[in-house]
Chains A and B, each alone.
Chain A
């Protein structure tokens, strides 16, 4: 990356060097078994979320003749207290998790990136105000925020996405701002400014492409955080409402029948953990590729 940044005509060089650069990054990425494992787990999760609901049947079909069934040929993961197939519910739960993860991260990016760009770019006027606000929000207990929201608007997936998205905004603002500040220091940007390029050109041609890497890595942090957040809120009854199958909701049921049907507690949790692990591994791998110095 550095060689691209320091050359005088970055746009041209970037295009010429791109395929080569991607190949180099990919090689560094897949040489590490951990990163590759992460990628595979994430892809499997996406496949399950996108195709699963169609493959594994109706997650809300009730069978009172087969409640709390142990895993069997007919129901690979067993059935819950209403005789609903756990496998079908896991698959639909993946869809819900994906929605929560992607939508809330998208929300955070849509709001956070412009704020970060503006704060970093018009440093003199807005920076300190924005950053102070970010500091306040940064580690405020998101759950308490979500709880307040659920109290006012009532529990729903939409509110969960909103609460999760808002809680991710500060991180996005920080990262974007940091990238703006470092890119501004680069010679070619200073040159472009001197040549009279307008702010929009500089932001979209130079700053955003450079910030993209860091933001992608942040997405691998934000999405699993949101998946856990959604599951947690739903588990508490403050998120997705039954009968919609969310992994959190499934665990609420499992808690009630912990001694009669312990298997109910296994798979939703394994799914959350494995999905999160996949994103974490993928994120660590991407970080190594994008910024080898951080690889320790």
Chain B
């Protein structure tokens, strides 16, 4: 497995480099003076000057690129044109917020999706199957942001159970933090729960008709043990694969959800940066997304390998 990981890591580095070139060229392909473009909506002379200095815009492109890489490696991502803060500091503030949202949403999706997918498969053709399948289809069809609006309308405006929006850091007040994160996390998690439920159901149906499940029954094991241990264990690779494929969607979903619930995370940063043409931030955001995306995909692959004895053991003997 070590060798396999190394290969994956190599590929990841290459993709990141390619992405950095694309981002680098993307901003420079804009019409007009890149320094002015990078300075955004209110290009004061100081900002333009500092950008020229930061990017070395008078030098040839390859040199600029290597300078840019050098800055990247040292963690220098430039300065936001809006509040003049270092982009790296902004990211450090925003990313944990989005991570929390994403992790909570994933938890919701996994618990709901895997649980109901399993129940639906185990009770195929029964009322609970139709109910779960129906909700799954509905969950797939309802866009996140509308669900978010409805949730705010119901829980915050009508019932006044939860605050409509706003954010309190976990470190400041865990209870308030969770109170404000629960609605966004459920909203973001619902769509993924639906996808996961459908895939889990279909994988479990396959597993439940497998010969080894019949063997498990012939041992006198209880229904929950047959379904929850023997069949589910073999469906987990599907679950992990689906989670991996949904990551892109999760990031996109976080952007929208943060916008609706006014959560100062990475997604809101992204949209705000685009709307204010804050190019240093946009550059950084795209690059961070690529890196984050690759890292998480790598983790998914590792989990996949760890779940499948065939891959795990093949790697172990090969080095």
Contacts and interface: CB of A to CB of B under 8 A. Distances in A.
Contacts of A277: 137-138, 140-141
A31 B20 CA distance: 53
Nearest to B275: A237
Interface residues of B, number: 48
Contacts of A100: none
A269 B150 contact: yes
Nearest to B271: A236
A284 B140 CA distance: 13
A29 to B, nearest CB: 17
Contacts of A296: 201-202, 205-206
Interface in B8-28: 15, 26-27
B145 A151 contact: no
B304 to A, nearest CB: 14
Nearest to B154: A262
**Number of contact residues on A: which range applies?**
35 or more
Nearest to A138: B245
Contacts, number: 122
Interface in A256-296: 258-259, 262, 265, 268-269, 272-274, 276-277, 280-281, 284, 296
Contacts of B290: 140
Interface of B: 15, 26-27, 29-30, 137-138, 140-146, 149-150, 152-153, 157, 201-202, 205-206, 244-249, 251-252, 255-256, 259-260, 270-271, 273-275, 277, 279, 282, 285-286, 289-290, 293
Smallest CB-CB A-B distances: 4 pairs: A143-B252, A269-B146, A277-B141, A276-B141
Given A151-B279, A152-B30, A274-B141, 17 more contacts: A139-B247, A140-B293, A141-B248, A141-B249, A142-B248, A142-B252, A143-B256, A144-B251, A147-B282, A148-B26, A232-B143, A232-B144, A236-B256, A237-B271, A238-B271, A238-B274, A273-B138
Interface of A: 136, 138-144, 147-148, 150-152, 224, 228, 231-232, 235-238, 248, 251, 254-255, 258-259, 262, 265, 268-269, 272-274, 276-277, 280-281, 284, 296
